[in-house]
Amino acid sequence: MAKCDVCGNDYDKAFTVTMPRGSGTFDSFECAIHALAPRCAHCDCRIVGHGAEHDGVFYCCAHCAKQAGVKGIDDRI
């Protein structure tokens, strides 16, 4: 069995995620998100969906980007 890098659970259905900026073995998507998902620069939540990026800074949504001073970004056009 493989051991989860986040919670330490030995699980026969564990999986490995490989990304350019990190990888790991996890027993659930929750643990993978906790370890690998970027955080919003404004509200600090984990970005699970597409999010938004401006000048290399990540935001969970256009609202947070606007609150941080980003111009010309909208969730809908």
What are the tens digits of pLDDT across the range 5-49?
Answer: 999 999 999 999 998 877 899 999 999 999 999 999 999 999 999
Q: Judge if 51 and 72 occupy the same domain.
A: yes
pTM: 0.78
In the block, residue with structure tokens 């073995």: 25
Q: Judge if 13 and 49 occupy the same domain.
A: no
Domain that holds residue 69: 37-77
Number of domains the chain contains = 2
Between CA 9 and CA 25 the distance in angstroms is 10
C-alpha closest to that of 61 among 34, 36, 41: 41
Q: How confident is the model at residue 77 (pLDDT cuts 50, 70, 90)?
A: low
Residue 22 CB: number of other CB atoms within 10 A?
A: 9
Q: Judge if 69 and 53 occupy the same domain.
A: yes
22 bridge partner residues: 19
What confidence tens digit (pLDDT) does each residue in 44-69 have? 999 999 899 999 999 999 999 999 99
